[in-house]
Structure 1
């Protein structure tokens, strides 16, 4: 997986109006919603057919490859592309909310308006929508309780993405193999 700095640098180079965490969320949502794991993913996720596919081996190409592999990993190795733990809590929480916004957009583009989701998947999607609408609070302090709360939310988001991938991408794929 490329670093957030590498992804952000390529985003700036391509002049895309989106932070790296949000773009990763969009890619993850696209794949979780059943979107194609293809070199031209950027045009699909950004809903801009004029965007060229990321260059082979570039940070965005490696991001797609790693994200697709992580979502398919049976050991649940999926990771969110977010700022490192040493960054201010407000910056990390803002990036997490951006990631959720991106995920919802990509998921909606791939899965459509009424995806067939389990009850847990529907709840997870609704919770992600609430997080996507949230704004970080910056009271100037980063205490251990807030750090723990952010870590719990990150883990929830990670598991929610895997659950939705199971419902919208893996489930239909397995049903098609059985038929």
Structure 2
């Protein structure tokens, strides 16, 4: 499976299409859309950003790769799903801000795809509530090493929460359809 494009590549591609979202927020929105049952298509930016005037993603572009890789990673049984965040050599505050942007994007995309009452397990409802709290957060500065450890834990939680919500809304629905 191919990895995600870099934050810089996605930022540049988003700017070319005038998407008005950071790379992390855009990836979060895409993953939320897919986790909520939204369809992968060249029109994903207009769906995720709720703007029908946005152009479709060009074939072979970085944004097409982002969508295809994200969809594959969400389906990956070995939990190879990644969040598109600045590299770990960037400052903790910058990475935390990008993570909170990712969560805001995820919630928006998820809500658009899943609707007001998605079929969530108790754990899924809890995870969605936790993501909503993270989306409202802002980075605080503290002890750098402690902050890095805390951020790594939050990143892992967000990654697992996204997979759980995808499982509740997409995989469980698919499984129920096969049973009927």
Quickly name the TM-score band, shorter chain normalised.
over 0.9
- Cα deviation per residue 1:54-88 (whole Å; 9 max; x = unaligned)? 11111110000000000000101000000001111
Q: Which one is further off, 44-53 or 69-78? A: 44-53
Residue number in structure 2 paired with 1:65: 68
- Of residues 167-176 and 90-99 in structure 1, the stretch that sits farther from structure 2 once superposed is 167-176
Map 1:50-61 → 2, pairs under 5 A: 50-61=53-64
Give the equivalent residue in structure 2 for 1:34: 37
- 1:103 aligns to what SS in structure 2? helix
What is the deviation of 1:51? Answer: 1.4
Q: How many Å separate the matches in 2 of 1:160 and 1:97? A: 14
* 1:115 paired residue number: 118
Pairs aligned (count): 177
1:84, 1:92 → 2: CA distance? 8
- Aligned counterpart in structure 1 of residue 131 of structure 2, from 128, 131, 142: 128
1:148 aligns with 2:140: no
Deviates more, 1:62-71 or 1:13-22: 13-22
Q: Does 1:48 align with 2:51?
A: yes
Unaligned runs of 5+ in 2: none
TM-score by length of 1: 0.96
Report the TM-score, using the length of structure 2 for normalisation: 0.96
Structure 1, 63-72 or 10-19: larger mean CA deviation: 10-19
How much has 1:98 moved relative to structure 2? 0.1
Alignment match, 1:157: 158
